[in-house]
Amino acid sequence: MIIRASRFVPTCLTALLGVLAFGSVQAAEVQVAVAANFTAPIQAIAADFEKDTGHKLVAAYGATGQFYTQIKNGAPFEVFLAADDSTPAKLEKEGDIVPGSRFTYAVGTLALWSAKDGYVDAHGKVLKDNHYQHLSIADPKTAPYGLAATQVLGKLGLTDKVKDKLVTGQNITQAYQFISTGNAELGFVALSQIYKDGKVTSGSAWIVPADMHDTIKQDAVILNKGKDNVAAKALVDYLKGPKAAAIIKSYGYQI
């Protein structure tokens, strides 16, 4: 019995070490460029992703147009979660992504928001009343939500009336910050920044009807730098799964 035990223990230990070694080899890190509007959802997803797969997600946040420039200049991103579908399509056409990796991970919603309770009415009439001094938007040249905001203003016939009141953020996060700090009485933000589990979490808002601007389809791609990274593939697969979908929907996006 003693001889058998002495043989059995090392065998089990060897197997255990093999499993641990296998796990450590498989775990990897993925560098992700994330459109600023998707900051809160990806942070929630990242926690589950790491727990469920062992892989670590390292995110940078910013405007989609700025990320495009950085990617073209050799930035080390491996996955790109854009705020539109045209920028990933452009990267695909230019040969900068893994073929077949592009897909729509979310459809965004635009909102007119004020940090003040009761300031923005449910139909956005406050825009036409024109009693505010500053209206915050993201840069329409680099941020799809900023472009959508200008389309709404155009549809309402307010482009010229509000042009001297615009406060333009580099991305949707900065546009939100201008409002939250009181530097602008109201402005256009991504619904995901002010919404969770079926309700606006602070201030007052008008959820802009989708037919007032181009559809904000947000596409994801695996960039060429991530083609051999198992964590990059795992993240894309995870974003298509039910856990990620539930989180994405809880922030007001459509799937």
Structure confidence by residue, pLDDT tens digits, 75-105: 999 999 999 999 999 999 999 999 999 999 9
User: CA–CA separation, 90 vs 109, rounded Å?
Assistant: 23
User: CA–CA separation, 198 vs 194, rounded Å?
Assistant: 11
Flag whether pLDDT at 30 surpasses 70: yes
pLDDT-derived band at 8, boundaries 50, 70, 90: very low
Taking every pair of Cα atoms in the chain, the longest distance, rounded to a whole number of angstroms, is 91
**Which regions of the chain carry the CATH code 3.40.190.10?**
27-107+216-250, 108-212
pLDDT one-digit tens code per residue, 55-80: 999 999 999 999 999 999 999 999 99
pLDDT at res. 255:
87
pLDDT at res. 125:
96
CA of residue 247 relative to chain centroid, distance: 12
SS3 content of the chain, % helix, strand, coil (to 5): 45, 25, 30
- Return the percentage of the chain with pLDDT > 70, whole number: 90
- Return the percentage of the chain with pLDDT > 90, whole number: 89
Average pLDDT score, the chain = 91
pLDDT at res. 12:
43
Question: Is 172 annotated for ligand binding?
Answer: yes
pLDDT at res. 26:
73
DSSP reduced 3-state for 14? helix
Flag whether pLDDT at 230 surpasses 90: yes
Q: What fold does the segment set 108-212 form as a domain?
A: D-Maltodextrin-Binding Protein; domain 2 (3.40.190)
pLDDT-derived band at 11, boundaries 50, 70, 90: very low
User: CA–CA separation, 111 vs 130, rounded Å?
Assistant: 17
Radius of gyration in angstroms for the set of CA atoms belonging to the chain, rounded to a whole number: 22
Q: Which CATH architecture has domain 27-107+216-250?
A: 3-Layer(aba) Sandwich (3.40)
